[in-house]
């Protein structure tokens, strides 16, 4: 029995179904498999931004080597469940967040600009400490056809690769920072494993060149994450084995390689389950309106995609009138919000879908609930359940 069915068996039917269901057993097995596939020289971190829920952090804590955080709030959440090291990143660090990082188990601070370098050095001086930093590099060339790119294109992230030499010189002249290595997070939701291996190789080569040029003892090479979920065609997932094997075959024995996995770690452990409130036809197209929507699961609207889903039929129908539905036709699945942008599925085929049936949105364990605009229209929040059973 899967986690969704376990949830459905234990709930009452007083209100339309709307819930996030997390399968912690599946998450644990998946994380352990990823960790085991990597060479011992590669440290395995969880990118907390994908999903910061405490039960997920507690499930991953015994498995991962550390956590990648991007705010003081995430530092606090990790510190509540673990004493393992953290890497603190993000393009807009506030002074109090830098201070929190210096006072906690943050092992390295990513530095994303000259000004941020000066601020970290100044705040570390005030505290009488030395801050180990990773220089985040915005590469000059694009490295993949990933859905979102943070390197190789103009973005707010990192230091332009062309400015790395003078940046290193300023860092070396700063008395309260020490260069521990380089950080290369460059993409989000990349689906090309071979391109990802080439990216890792480029990170190692560039780091080695800068270490040699400036005689640096900077052994950390953080390749970030960006491993994707194929929301458009789940039957053709990212080839993790190719990436893991490629990393193992690269010459990285003289460095400390770090990989930060977020979306690919937690997406599959979460499902968003909603009940169909209405099925109707409008201007020649079918629409199903669900209890819930993009205020709970914003990703499909943000990326203008159809989120992967399947239908769970409910045979009970308690009304004394006709049950609306469609069979063997395309349907757009929309939410309960008063905006035409509240769309989770766009003209996808279903065998049958009726009012009262359930729609299960898969791969909802990452960048889902926590990135959504919960307060719009003041609808009630979904139930949130964490189920841990084989």
Catalytic residues: 338
- Provide the phi-psi class of 17: left if phi over 0, else alpha when psi is between -120 and 50, else beta: beta
* Helical residues (DSSP H) of the chain, grouped into ranges: 3-10, 24-37, 54-60, 72-79, 95-102, 114-127, 164-172, 193-214, 240-249, 263-266, 299-302
> Is 386 in contact with 55 (CB distance < 8 Å)?
yes
Alpha-carbon distances of 46 from 84, 243, 331, rounded to whole Å: 11, 17, 36
Q: Using alpha carbons only, what angle is made at residue 216 by residues 214 and 217, rounded to the nearest 5 degrees?
A: 170
> Is 299 in contact with 371 (CB distance < 8 Å)?
yes
CA gap 296, 377 in Å, rounded = 12
End-to-end C-alpha distance for the chain, whole angstroms: 8
* Helical residues (DSSP H) of 135-293, grouped into ranges: 164-172, 193-214, 240-249, 263-266
């Amino acid at each position: 029995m899967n986690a969704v069915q376990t949830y459905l068996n234990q709930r009452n039917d007083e209100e339309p179904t709307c819930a996030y269901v997390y399968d912690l057993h599946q998450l644990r097995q998946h994380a352990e498999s990823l960790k085991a596939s990597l060479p011992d020289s590669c440290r395995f971190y969880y990118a907390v931004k994908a999903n910061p829920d405490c039960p997920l952090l507690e499930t991953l804590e015994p498995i991962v080597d550390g956590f990648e955080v991007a705010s003081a709030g995430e530092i606090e959440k990790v510190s509540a469940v673990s004493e393992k090291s953290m890497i603190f990143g993000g393009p807009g660090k506030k002074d109090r967040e830098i201070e929190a990082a210096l006072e906690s188990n943050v092992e390295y601070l990513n530095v994303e600009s000259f000004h941020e370098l000066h601020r970290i050095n100044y705040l570390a001086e005030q505290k009488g400490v030395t801050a180990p930093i990773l220089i985040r590099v915005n590469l000059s060339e694009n490295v993949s056809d990933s859905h979102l790119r943070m390197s190789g294109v103009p973005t707010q992230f990192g230091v332009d690769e062309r400015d790395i030499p003078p940046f290193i010189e300023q860092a070396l002249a700063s008395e309260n920072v020490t260069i521990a290595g380089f950080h290369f997070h460059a993409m989000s939701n990349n689906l090309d494993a071979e391109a990802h291996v080439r990216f890792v190789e480029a990170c190692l080569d560039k780091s080695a060149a800068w270490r040699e040029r400036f005689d640096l003892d900077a052994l950390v090479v953080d390749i970030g994450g960006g491993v994707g979920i194929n929301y458009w065609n789940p039957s053709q997932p990212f080839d993790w084995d190719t990436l893991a094997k490629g990393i193992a075959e690269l010459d990285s024995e003289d460095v400390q390689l770090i990989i930060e996995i977020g979306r690919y770690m937690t997406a599959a452990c979460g499902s968003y389950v909603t009940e169909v409130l209405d099925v109707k036809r409008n201007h020649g197209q079918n629409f199903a309106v669900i209890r819930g929507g993009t205020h709970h699961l914003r990703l499909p609207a943000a990326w203008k995609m159809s989120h992967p889903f399947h239908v769970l039929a409910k045979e009970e129908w308690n009304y004394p009138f006709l049950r609306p539905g469609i069979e063997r036709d395309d349907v757009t699945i929309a939410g309960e919000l008063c905006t035409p942008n509240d769309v989770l599925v766009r003209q996808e085929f279903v065998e049958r879908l009726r009012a009262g049936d359930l729609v299960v949105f898969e791969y909802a364990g990452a960048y889902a609930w926590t990135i959504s605009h919960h307060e719009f229209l003041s609808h009630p929040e979904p139930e949130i359940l964490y189920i841990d059973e084989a």
